[in-house]
Homo-oligomer: A and B are copies of this chain.
Amino acid sequence: MSVIATPQQLEASRAARRAYRAGHAQPTSGVAPGLTQANLIAVPADWAFETLLYAQRNPKPCPVLEVIEQGQVESMLARGSDIRRDIGRYRIWRDGELTEEVADATDAWSEHPDLVAFLIGCSFTFETGLAEAGIPIRHQELGRNVPMYRTSIDCTPAGRLRGEMVVSMRPIPASRVADAVQISGRTPAVHGAPVHIGDPQSLGIADLSRPDFGDAPEVRDGEIPVFWACGVTPQAAIMESRPPFAVTHAPGYMFITDVPDAEYLV
């Protein structure tokens, strides 16, 4: 499809990118509603093929929206953007260790001018559809970051890259779980249908109240925990595979594009 954003939407996305570029730091859930947000992972050029292959082999957690090649910093999904500056909070990784969190990654790109950046789809895209169908998005209601968990599900390796799948969790009323499956299933290019419904332990999640990323959830009576593949999965691969250098967004602080969520509907 080629769905075009409205002028109001474009104004909102540009204003958001300007604010983040100016140093504003706030999770992006609910920001510039209806426009696609993306996870970031940038690696040195000699890791680029393996990263793209890892994504191809693990499309549910790693749906690639765009690859920004070596020497480029503008995303084609957001005219006038600068991938080094327009995210609210970046993580810098050295040999698989998180060494810094910064509001501007220009220095990282200066240090490694051969970085290739991957924009990966985000589950916030199908939250638009869930909300439109009247399915509550708890973490938005509470003004929190979505809870994310490392799991015991191994992704398919690619060359030097391996790691487990990371999932995001939303508590869904039992009567709406089927709807949530069908609605998110309509965006297969952006994580698609859940990977798991209802039993955290079989995913290797010992304690739902202690996510590995994001904020603690609130699961109410009659609600089922529903798990979607998450674009933070490449960060788990960095931790395990230890490339010499990498830059990612901080979980919950996404890159905001000018592309309507509806673009990814089938």
Q: A interface vs B, CB < 8 Å?
A: 48-49, 52-53, 56-57, 64, 67, 69, 159, 185-186, 188-189, 192, 266
Contacts and interface: CB of A to CB of B under 8 A. Distances in A.
Given A48-B49, A49-B48, A49-B49, A266 B56 contact: no
Nearest to A67: B53
Q: How many copies does the complex hold?
A: 2
A45 to B, nearest CB: 9
A193 to B, nearest CB: 8
Nearest to A193: B266
How would you classify the secondary structure of chain A's contact residues: helix, strand, loop or mixed?
Answer: mixed
A140 B186 CA distance: 31
Contact of A52 (B56, B69, B159, B266): B56
Contacts of A49: 48-49, 52
B52 A188 contact: no
Nearest to A56: B64
Nearest to A1: B193
Nearest to A57: B67
A41 to B, nearest CB: 14
Nearest to A52: B52
A266 B183 CA distance: 12
6 closest A-B pairs by beta carbon, nearest first, are A49-B49, A188-B266, A52-B52, A56-B64, A53-B67, A48-B49
Question: Among the interface residues A53, A185, A186, A192, which one has the most CB atoms of the partner chain B within 10 A?
Answer: A53
A122 to B, nearest CB: 17
13 contacts: A49-B49, A49-B52, A52-B52, A52-B53, A52-B56, A53-B67, A53-B69, A56-B64, A56-B67, A69-B159, A185-B266, A186-B266, A192-B266
Contacts of A192: 266
Contacts of A186: 266
Contacts of A67: 53, 56-57
Nearest to A59: B189
A69 B53 CA distance: 10
Nearest to A53: B67
Contacts of A159: 69
A159 B52 CA distance: 15
A262 to B, nearest CB: 15
Contacts of A48: 49
A67 B157 CA distance: 12
Nearest to A116: B49
A1 to B, nearest CB: 9
